[in-house]
Structure 1
Amino acid sequence: MPAALTPSTTSRRQFLTLLGISAAAVSCGTATAGGGSGAGSGSQVKTLKYQGAVGAVTLPELAADLGYFGDVKLEWVGNTISGPQDIQSAATGQTHFGSAFNGAVIKLAAGGAPIKAVISSYGSDQHTYGGYFVLEDSPIRSARDLIGKKVGMNTLGAHYQALLDIYLSRNGLSEAEAGKVEPLVVPPVNTEQAIRQKQIEVGVLSGILRDKALAAGGLRPLFTDTQLLGPFSAGTYIMTQRFIKENPDTVRTFVTGVAKAIEWSRTTPREQVIARQTEIVKKRGRNEDASNLKYWRSYGIAETGGRVEDKHFRLWLDWLGERGEVKKGRLKASELFTNEFNGYGKG
């Protein structure tokens, strides 16, 4: 088996523990990045530390460039390697905000991190979605056909493994049967090749990599995340509760600015959005290739202004509870987020 393919050694009941965070790490992160006592001293933090993504423009970066943050500035401290890492950095005070799959946010909160989701950060719609692809002539046509098969995805214990589990469950597979489906870590850039060379039977493809693979022909979707759940917001930006309490005006500016950026990207012609993103990447001087931006379609967020709803967490709470990853009743969906600081559409 190629080095790119790493068999999952994690059980169906345990794989999401990789999203956990130690109590010590949580406790040391109660002081937010950059210090400052915030509202209590009459001086709120105005420069927000954050992690970016190579060759991509995040919603906060877009909002800042559009002038939606006023006197609040962003300070890039590096690029994130994953959603769980991004929100852990925020929880431990290395950055002021981070974004991840909502299931990862739940795990972090269940581990004792005093965090709140403040606005949606990404999702899936008719333009931006993830699909589970097989060879066109593959005998795999149903969930039951996946028993004993390898499914490649970018990481374990996050968005795509959660959706795979939901797909298997909704299509009648027992826990024992689902346990015979083998999820593997395959870097997204290698997924198409791994499918075509039959190193895996199914692979998750999204964005530019999906479009290029489909253009080459020979692949078909077994299912997509939007077919499974419809258009949905899948991830959120989180901040620590302490930072929110001490810097309410800054948080309001940030959240409302991101909400405006979401709607700007939704209502502005795609070519203009791509041009703006390309300009942002070029002028920030991180030695990046901006060529993939021409394939951008949307941020995939379903709700107006990125407002968060109970359903964005309830599905994953139920799923985690059924698998014993989070104790049932330990958390309520409404406790995990707030829309208090989202001023979009309020006049």
Structure 2
Amino acid sequence: MSHPARLASRGRFRIGAIGAVLSAAALLTGCGAFPEASGASESPGSDETTTVRYQGWASQVGFNELAEDLGYFDNVELEWVGNTISGPQDIQSVATNQIDVGGAFNGAVVKLAATGAPITPVIAYYGADSENYHGYYVLEGSPIRSARDLIGKKIGVNTLGAHHEFIIREWLAQQGLTKDEIAQVELVVVPPVNTEQALRQGQIDAGTLGSVFRDTALDRGGIRPLFTDESLFGSFSYGTQIFRNDFIEQNPEAVADYVQGVSRAIRWAQTTPREEVIEKFREIIESRGRNESTEFIEHWKSTGVGNSGGVIDEKEIQIWIDWLVRNGELAEGQLTASDVFTNEFVPYANGTLDPASGPNGEEVEAR
């Protein structure tokens, strides 16, 4: 889904250098100066690079890692400091200056911003669509058929305070359960690799399954979905990557370069045949020497990102602000979406690239 080019209003900061950086990027685009999808690129007018620290995910390829491999960064060098299994932990590490960029579910991002943490979401990086989604499953013979049947039951999720907790509670609310009734549905932390086994052995009553874990579980049979995250809002971006505001203020060129590179990598994955994307992911995993399996990425189907190149839609933030207000975790009017995020670095939002074009501004066929 394309999104009209626009700049989000900003309440947190204003960086004078950003306009010059983006104007220069637009001029380069007009001259066809975006690097091709192979080989490293040189920084225009500067040999200096800025190191951006980040955490990865085992056996997966982040869009920043893809961007680096495709040669989409001009003056950014990534520094991998280890892996994480939790979005909330990832963005907390950004806020405490352990890393420079991280990503999480937007509800977790909003909660962190509401505490006054000086962070800003700059690009959407994951979501759900008809091909890439998480389902919430029970055994085929389970008596659980509705949201009300889950009262007093256990649901396995990968971590608390993140995507699955918000989605489950949102679905329960949409199905008519009260706040007190929702509180009686117990969420239990279960690593994704163990969720299917825990469900089949009766350790949990329902479990969250996505990607390879969902596909292999469905192949074995004996489970059925109650709902999916895609069924709630359709094609929808659920998570954003964030930087600390001081990092943005001190390194505006690097942040602009990082976001344009990640944005174009997302767009590359959105417009490239699935088999080629998987092959590229496989190459990256095998070349980085972290003793990882490539089984997970063999089940990759789509980016799940709702808009071209990770443009953030205001509703993708506001819906979780409203959710926190309804649940009494945020005061009415305390925060609005325009206070939280910016699209000003995203080339498909700031006018640098047409939302219908590919990663180098080329015409692409709709997929």
- With the shorter chain as reference, the TM-score category is 0.7 to 0.9
Matches within 5 A, 1:178-327: 178-327=182-331
Contact kept in structure 2, 1:118 and 1:236, CA below 8 Å: yes
Instruction: Please state whether the residue corresponding to 1:330 is helix, strand or coil.
Output: coil
The reply to whether residue 137 of structure 1 matches residue 137 of structure 2 is no
Which whole-Å deviations, capped at 9, do the CAs of 1:39-60 have from their partners, x for residues lacking one?
Answer: 9xx9986121111111110000
Question: Residue 358 of structure 2 aligns with which residue?
Answer: none
Are the aligned partners of 2:311 and 2:346 in contact in 1 as well (CA < 8 Å)? yes
Q: What stretches of structure 2 of length at least 5 have no aligned partner?
A: 1-20, 22-45, 354-367
For residue 259 of structure 2, what is the amino acid of its counterpart? V
SS in 2 for 1:112: coil
Task: For residue 290 of structure 1, report the CA deviation from its aligned partner.
Answer: 2.1
Are 2:177 and 1:173 aligned? yes
Contact 1:44 / 1:250 at 8 angstroms: preserved in 2? no
Equivalence for 1:70? 74
Deviations 1:223-273 (A, max 9, x none): 001111211101100001121122222111111111111111111111111
Counterpart Cα distance in 2 of 1:103 and 1:45: 33
Partner of 2:166: 162
Inter-CA distance 95–44: structure 2 relative to 1 (3 Å threshold): farther
After TM superposition, list the pairs within 5 Å mapping 1:91-102 onto structure 2. 91-102=95-106
Partner of 2:126: 122
Q: CA deviation at 1:287?
A: 2.1
Secondary structure of residue in 1 paired with 2:123: strand
Contact 1:123 1:235 in 2 (8 A): yes
Instruction: Give the length in aligned residue pairs.
Output: 307
Residue 50 in structure 1 maps to residue 20 in structure 2: no
Equivalent pair of 1:136/1:219 in contact (CA under 8 Å): yes
State yes or no: 1:110 paired with 2:110: no
Structure 2 length normalisation: TM-score?
A: 0.80
| Secondary structure class of the residue paired with 1:213 | helix
Q: Does the 8 Å CA contact 1:124/1:226 hold for their aligned counterparts?
A: yes
> Structure 1 residues 92 and 43, CA, compared in 2 at 3 Å: closer, same or farther?
farther
Contact (CA 8 Å) 1:149, 1:181: kept in 2 or not? yes
List alignment gaps of at least 5 residues for structure 1: 1-38
Q: Is contact 2:102–2:243 with CA below 8 Å preserved after alignment?
A: yes
Distance 2:206 2:132 in 1: 19
Counterparts of 1:69 and 1:226, CA distance in 2: 32
Tell me which residue corresponds to 1:11: none
> Aligned AA for 1:76?
W
Partner-residue secondary structure (3-state), 2:266? helix
Amino acid at match of 1:228: L
Structure 2 counterpart of 1:119, one-letter code: I
Where does residue 153 of structure 1 map in the other structure?
157
How far, CA to CA, are the matches of 1:91 and 1:148 in structure 2? 36
1:219/1:163 CA distance change after superposition, 3 Å: same
When residues 57 and 153 of structure 1 are mapped into structure 2, their CA distance, relative to the original with a 3 A threshold, is same
In structure 2, what is the Cα distance between the partners aligned to 1:340 and 1:180?
Answer: 42
Aligned equivalents of 2:213 and 2:88: distance in 1?
22
Could you tell me whether the CA contact under 8 Å between 1:44 and 1:247 is conserved in 2? no
Distance 1:149 1:331 in 2: 34
Give 1:101 deviation, angstroms. Answer: 0.7
CA distance in 1, matches of 2:79, 2:189: 32
1:346 aligns with 2:346: no
In the aligned structure 2, how far is the partner of 1:308 from the partner of 1:185? 29
- 8 Å contact 1:233–1:312 — kept in the other structure? yes
Change (3 A) 1:118 1:107: same
Q: Deviations over 1:316-344 (max 9, x none)?
A: 11111122222222111111110111123
Report if aligned partners of 1:252, 1:343 keep a CA contact under 8 Å in 2. no
1:189-243 Cα shifts (integer Å, max 9, x gaps): 1111121122221111111000000000111100001111211101100001121
The alpha-carbon deviation at position 81 of structure 1 amounts to: 3.3
Whole-angstrom distance in 2 between the partners of 1:159 and 1:193: 21
Give distance in 2, aligned partners of 1:172 and 1:293: 37
Q: CA deviation at 1:185?
A: 1.3
Q: What TM-score results when the alignment is normalised by the length of structure 1?
A: 0.85
